[in-house]
Amino acid sequence: MEGTRHERAALVLTAYAIGFTTAFILYAANINNNSTLISTPRTDANTASVANALKKTPESTNILPIEEVTSSGVTYNNGLLEVTKGDEVSLLSFNTEVAGLDVDTANLTQGFHFGEIKYQVSPDDNFVFFCERQDVTSTTCLGFVYDIEAETIYPVVKNGAPVLISADSLRATKFNNDGLVIGTNYSANAKAPWILIDNTETLDLQ
């Protein structure tokens, strides 16, 4: 079992180190915890980027695990947020304190979280929204959307920049038939729910 954890840790580190470079280097220096949605300034360094989710083969076992399930194929168990599609399992994010993976997260910009992770599945079961609290002392988190069909993780962005989501906004975040809604911000296109605009902009219905 220990060997499996080390192999998984190596795969996690490799997958996310390659997939993400500098997309999330610039965070807001001073975060107002009362704000509903916090955007970092748009720069070339934090333009939206994507990473492939890590895939792994389910381990055979005679013991049925206790799992928290929001939708068929999406589970959070033992600190691992995973999506099962056919006979493949994609690891979206792991809790550094619970999962027991020996991974150095210092250079990772996605794929890990502290505390409880909030996640939701779209009504059509095509997307999974999740928000990673990557600092143990932070009250905000970085939002991501996993495209199940494309097997790709996208950062939630507004004006081309990743956004930090406050605890209040996270509690009110939801999917509807038009995409993702976070406070007064919502998806410009239901087919790309990770791209947000606010209620002063025009919804892209294409």
Domain boundary assignment for the chain: 2-27+36-58+70-198
Average pLDDT of 22-37?
Answer: 38
> What pLDDT sits at residue 54?
52
Residues near 166 by Cβ (< 8 Å), separated by ≥ 6?
33, 34, 35, 36, 37, 38, 139, 140
pTM over cut 0.85: no
Q: Which of 9-18, 102-111, 164-173 holds the top average pLDDT?
A: 164-173
Distance between CA 157 and CA 139 in Å, rounded?
Answer: 19
Judged by DSSP in three states, 8 sits in: helix
- Tell me the H-state helices in the chain: 2-19, 167-172
Is the separation of the CB atoms in 140 and 152 below 8 Å? no
